[in-house]
Structure 1
Amino acid sequence: MGPLIGTTLPVAIGIAISPVPMIAAILMLLSPRAKSTGVGFLIGWIVGIAVAVIVFAALSSILPAADPEATHPIIGVIDIVLGALLLLIGIRQWRSRPKDGNEPKLPGWMKAIDSMTALRGFVLGVVLSAVNPKNLLLAVSAGLAIGSSDVVLWQEAIVIVVFVLIAASSIIIPVVAYLLASASMARPLDALRGWLTDNNATIMAVLMFVLGFVVIGKGIGQF
């Protein structure tokens, strides 16, 4: 179980380091309905990650069974393709960096965050965690690793719980911190939002390059 957690750890961190969802969560915590929308978004984020990983872990069971000591070419090919797609996302993010003096562009839906309800925050959390292409690719990689492992079911469940907690940590930490000390968190959260906004494209590009090569290397190791 320990090696499996180690294998999925970089992928979980890749999901956690997602500037746009972090910016969305911070904007919710700075909105008039901070507590309800923030908690709703957090629950949606956790549910989306958990469902995606569980689904792909279950789907991996349809792959042909293999000797644990043997190679796993099917999983290897899938990992290489996923890694290549992550690299393409990284290239796209790098090219989308704002030029010097230009304001970075953020999704238009962020303008509606101030008027969001807890339910809409929940739905947005699910969409950004499970439907986002980058997170979906990472969930596929983690699900394949977990579902194709030789650990028993209860160990798989523990690995999934650890994975989800790590992947959701970047949203859990600011939301919980705000709930515990809302008055003192407003200024640090606003400063963090500004930094993430300015460096969103660069962070995402570097992250996708690193994870892309990690996943490709994992795929090559399956042969």
Structure 2
Amino acid sequence: MGAVIGDLLPLAIGVAVSPIPIIAAILMLLGKHARTTSLGFAAGWLAGIVLATTIFVFLGGAMDTDSGPSTTASWIKVALGVLLLAEGVREWRARTASAAAPKWMGAIDEMNPLTGLGIGFALAAVNPKNLIMCIAAGVTVGSGVLDATGEVVAVAVFSLLAATTVLIPVLGYQIASHRLSGPLERLKVWLEANNKTVMAVLILVIGVALIGKGVGGLG
């Protein structure tokens, strides 16, 4: 269990620092329907991570052996690591370029909780970078020779850690909204200025780690 959780930590961090969901949550918290829309978004974000990860737990479980992960699971990790490396290089090259915000961000003030839930789910389960890391987490858990309880615990730990950067500000706002407006605004500005660099470095590190784990499983 400990080894599997250790392998999941960098993947969870990779999902957690994804800038678009954090910026979206902040915009919702600074918008007209801050409390309700942000709660829907946080619920969708967490549900998307759990679902995407759980699906690939079953795939990883179908490929494991009594002694550890199969060759197929190891090759999948290598392939996912290569994809992350390619994405990390792309992000690094584009780190100084200005990018327009997604159109849906401009309509955040008019969103209801159900719309927020759908956007949160899509950003977690459909966004390619996050999906790759959820796939890697699912395969890691499924091929980790854990019993059913261990798999549930591992998915829960990964999902909660991966969702913390959205859950904490949303839940904190419900408790102390008047104290968070200033810090949230400053965090949004910082993320908009630095998100590509931070994400590129992190994706490159995770990609290398995944390739290393996959190659190690082939030995």
| Fold shared by both chains (TM-score > 0.5) | yes
**1:97-112 equivalence runs, <5 A:** 97-99=95-97, 103-112=98-107
Give the counterpart of 2:153 among 139, 142, 158. 158
User: Which one of 166, 177, 180 corresponds to residue 182 of structure 1?
Assistant: 177
**Contact 1:38/1:175 (CA < 8 Å) preserved in 2?**
yes
- After TM superposition, the structure 1 = structure 2 runs for residues 1-223 of structure 1, keeping only pairs within 5 Å, are 1-63=1-63, 65-68=64-67, 72-99=70-97, 103-223=98-218
Question: Unaligned stretches of 5+ in structure 2?
Answer: none
Amino acid at match of 1:87: L
Deviation at 1:119, TM superposition (A): 0.5
- Secondary structure (helix, strand or coil) at the match of 2:217 reads coil
Q: What CA distance in whole angstroms lies between the structure 2 residues aligned with 1:213 and 1:84? A: 8
Q: CA–CA distance in 1 between the matches of 2:73 and 2:101?
A: 35
Aligned-partner Cα distance in 1 for 2:174–2:6: 31
Q: CA–CA distance in 2 between the matches of 1:90 and 1:107?
A: 20
How far did residue 104 of structure 1 move?
4.7
**Number of paired residues?**
218
2: CA distance, partners of 1:89 / 1:104: 16
Shift of 1:42: 0.3
**C-alpha RMSD over aligned residues:** 1.3
Aligned-pair CA distance for 1:66: 2.4
Q: Secondary structure at the match of 1:222?
A: helix
Gaps of 5+ in 1: none
Structure 2 CA distance, aligned partners of 1:90 and 1:10?
Answer: 15
Q: Which 4+ stretches in 1 moved above 6 angstroms?
A: none
The one-letter amino acid paired with 1:96 is A
**TM-score, scaled relative to structure 1:** 0.94
How far apart, CA to CA, are the structure 1 residues paired with 2:102 and 2:189? 15
Aligned partner of residue 221 in structure 1, secondary structure: helix
Native 8 Å contact 2:57 2:138 kept in 1: yes
State TM-score, norm by structure 2.
0.95
